[in-house]
Amino acid sequence: MEESMINLALVGLGEIMVAVGVISDLIAALGMLRFPNFFVRLHAATVGTIWGAFLPLVGASLIAAGSEFLGQYRWFMSGGAIVTAILILILAPAGSHALARAAYRSKSAEVRPKSVDHLREFLKKEGGEESA
């Protein structure tokens, strides 16, 4: 009885996470289409990777862990989903960081809605050769 309650809670939590992921993916797609320039679109893309890919994968692993009818294999599915989620959590920020850095340094994208640019000030202080 208690075990089935835990399973139900796991599946319910996982389904909520997948639902949040679906909504986040929709928002991210809208942002990619409607946002004006590179850096703001990158923000929308990272919403899609963390809230729209990492969170649903954790949810999928919870659903698999709570689905007893899958037998022993549910732990393989659950573990695979968790490992993939952690990989995305490590790799996606590094990728978007590299993209943003390259776009900023090569001056190929304008930093448009900005109030302050600490990086520009830092690079000026470091010396001209770094920002060239």
Partner 1 sequence: MKGWKHVIAITSLVVSTSVLALATAIGGLGYILPTPGVRDLAYWYLVTVLSPSNKLFTAMSPEAVTSIVWDYRGLDTLFETSVFFLAIIGSIALMRGIKIVPERLRNYSSGMSPIVKTVTRITAGMIIAVAASIALHGHLTPGGGFQGGATAAVAPLLLMVVFSIYFIIKSGITEERMLALRTAGLVGIVFTAFSACIIAASLGTQAYVFQNQPKSTAAVGLPASIMGSLTSGTLIFFNLFEFFAVAAGFTIVFLLLSIPENIVKQALRGVESEH
Residues that bind partner 1 (CB under 8 A): 87, 90-91, 93-94, 97-98, 101
Smaller CB separation from partner 1, 26 or 98: 98
Phi, psi of 67, deg, nearest 5: -90, 95
Q: How far apart are CA 89 and CA 69, in angstroms?
A: 30
| Distant-in-sequence, close-in-space partners of 73: CB < 8 Å, separation ≥ 6 | none
| 102's tokens | 């390259």
Any idea how long the chain is? 132
Q: How far is the CB of 85 from partner 1 (least distance, A)?
A: 14
Q: How far is the CB of 4 from partner 1 (least distance, A)?
A: 33
Q: How far is the CB of 98 from partner 1 (least distance, A)?
A: 5
Smaller CB separation from partner 1, 32 or 100: 100
Q: How far is the CB of 15 from partner 1 (least distance, A)?
A: 30
What distances in angstroms separate CA 55 from CA 11, 12, 63, 129, one per listed residue? Answer: 14, 14, 12, 41
Smaller CB separation from partner 1, 76 or 110: 76
Q: How far apart are CA 68 and CA 38, in angstroms?
A: 45
Smaller CB separation from partner 1, 17 or 39: 39
